[in-house]
Copies of this chain bind each other. A is one copy, B any other.
Amino acid sequence: MHKVLVGQSGGPTAAINATLAGVIRGAQDAGLELCGMRYGIEGYLAGKSLDLTHALEQPVENALLRATPASWLGSCRFKLPDPTSTAPANKNFYEHAFTRFAEDKIDAVLYLGGNDSMDTIAKLSRWGAANGSPIRFVGVPKTIDNDLVGTDHTPGYGSAAKFVATSVAELALDASVYDLKSVLVVEIMGRDAGWLTASAALAGAAGSRGADLILLPEVALDLDALIGRVQALLEQQNTVVIALSEGVRDASGTLFAEKSSETGTTRDQFGHLAAYSGAGRWLSATLKERLGVKSRAVELSTLQRCASHLASQRDLEESFALGQRGVTCALEGATGVMCAVERQSSAPYSATFTQVDVQTVANLVKCVPDAWIASDGMGVSQEFMDYAAPLIEGEAPNLFVAGVPAHAQPVELA
Residues in B with CB closer than 8 Å to A12 are 173-174, 177
Interface of A is mostly: mixed
**Chain B residue at minimal CB-CB distance from A17:** B173
A403 touches B205 (CB 8 A): yes
Q: Is A407 an interface residue (CB 8 A)?
A: yes
**Chain B residue at minimal CB-CB distance from A184:** B302
Distance between A358 CB and nearest chain B CB, rounded to angstroms = 23
Q: Mask for A295-314, Cβ within 8 A of B = 1, else 0?
A: 01011111101111110100
Q: Is A206 an interface residue (CB 8 A)?
A: yes
Q: Is A281 an interface residue (CB 8 A)?
A: yes
A306 touches B68 (CB 8 A): no
- A43-B179, A262-B281, A400-B395 are known contacts. Are A166 and B205 too (CB-CB below 8 A)? no
Q: Is A389 an interface residue (CB 8 A)?
A: yes
Distance between A282 CB and nearest chain B CB, rounded to angstroms = 10
Residues in B with CB closer than 8 Å to A293 are none
User: A170, A171, A299, A305 — which one has the most chain B CB atoms within 10 A of its CB?
Assistant: A170
Residues in B with CB closer than 8 Å to A395 are 398, 400
**What number of copies of this chain does the assembly contain?**
2
A296 to B11, CA, bound (A): 14
Q: How large is the interface on A (under 10, 10 to 19, 20 to 34, 35 or more residues)?
A: 35 or more
B42 touches A404 (CB 8 A): no
Q: Is A4 an interface residue (CB 8 A)?
A: no
Distance between A318 CB and nearest chain B CB, rounded to angstroms = 14
Distance between A257 CB and nearest chain B CB, rounded to angstroms = 14
Residues in B with CB closer than 8 Å to A352 are none
A163 to B49, CA, bound (A): 34
Among A71-79, A215-223, A248-256, A369-377, the one that faces the other chain is A71-79
A4 to B382, CA, bound (A): 45
B389 touches A76 (CB 8 A): no
Contact of A170 among B175, B281, B306, B401 (CB under 8 A): B306
Residues in B with CB closer than 8 Å to A410 are 209
A11 to B398, CA, bound (A): 30
Q: Is A228 an interface residue (CB 8 A)?
A: no
B403 touches A394 (CB 8 A): yes
Q: Is A138 an interface residue (CB 8 A)?
A: no
Q: Is A276 an interface residue (CB 8 A)?
A: no
A98 to B368, CA, bound (A): 58
Contact of A402 among B281, B309, B389 (CB under 8 A): B389
Residues in B with CB closer than 8 Å to A306 are 170-171, 173-174
Distance between A235 CB and nearest chain B CB, rounded to angstroms = 18
Distance between A277 CB and nearest chain B CB, rounded to angstroms = 9
Q: Can you offer 18 A-B residue contacts whose CB atoms are under 8 A?
A: A12-B173, A39-B177, A39-B178, A70-B170, A76-B179, A165-B403, A166-B405, A169-B407, A175-B302, A203-B404, A206-B405, A206-B406, A207-B401, A208-B406, A209-B410, A296-B302, A394-B403, A395-B398
